[in-house]
Amino acid sequence: MPNTDLAGAARQLLLYTLWADRVCLRAVEQVKPEDLIRPTGTSFGSLLGTLAHILVAQRLWLSRFEGNPLDRLPALADYPDRDTLFSAWSETAAELGFFLAALTPDQLAADLTWRTTEGRLYTRPLWQPVLHLINHTTYHRGQVISLLRQLGHPAPSTDLIYFLIDQSNQPAP
C-alpha cells in the first residue's frame, strides 16, 4: 500500500524546489552578464554553467518521470545567456508544476525504469528518483548561492525552513 505521508512529503519538497529556484533566479537577475560567465574554477565553469546544469538535470528527470525520453540531452551551451536560460527554466518549472499536480501516492510507489546517459538501465520506485531530483537541485543551488557571494552579489536564503515559514504565513525568525 502506498504511503500517503511519503506522497505529502514529496509534494511539499517539489513545491519547495519550485519556490527555492524562483528565489535563486530572482537573485541572479541582478548579476551582470560578465559575472554570469566569469570562470569560477567550479565543476560547470561559471555561475551560468552551474544554473544550466541544474536545468538540464531537471529536464532530463522530468522526461523520465513522464515517460517522454528527450530526443537529445540539452547541453550547457544551449543556454548561452540569462534570457535563454530563464525562458527554458520557466518552461521546465511549469512542467514540474503539472507533474506535481498530477502526482499520486500510487505513482510514487510504482517502479520507474530509465536508462542513464551512459546507457545503464535502472528500476526504482518513483519516489526515489523524485527525491534525487530535489536533492540534486538543492545541492547545486547551494553552489549557485556560494558563487553569488564569491562574485560579490547578494545571496538569498533558500533554506527549507524559510519556505515552510513562507507557506504558513508566519514571520521569519
Q: What is the pLDDT of residues 90-137, one digit of tens each?
A: 999 999 999 999 999 999 999 999 999 999 999 999 999 999 999 999
Global pTM reads 0.94
Residues facing residue 111 across a β-bridge: 125
pLDDT band for 169, please (50, 70, 90 cuts): confident
Q: What's the pLDDT score for residue 173?
A: 57
pLDDT tens, residue by residue, 53-101: 999 999 999 999 999 989 899 998 999 999 999 999 999 999 999 999 9
What is each CA distance from 158 to 22, 41, 116, in whole angstroms?
9, 23, 29
Q: How many helices (H) and strands (E) does the chain have?
A: 7, 2
State mean pLDDT over 145-150: 97
Which grid cell is 153? 552579489
Nearest Cα neighbor of 107 from 127, 129, 93, 123 is 127
Q: What's the pLDDT score for residue 137?
A: 98
Provide the CA 92 distance to its chain's centre, in angstroms.
9
The alpha helices in the chain, defined as continuous H runs, are 4-28, 33-36, 47-66, 82-102, 105-109, 127-150, 160-168
Integer Cα distance of 161 and 16 in angstroms: 10
Integer Cα distance of 52 and 155 in angstroms: 18
Which residue shows C-alpha cell 538501465? Answer: 121
Provide the CA 108 distance to its chain's centre, in angstroms.
18
Q: What's the pLDDT score for residue 134?
A: 98
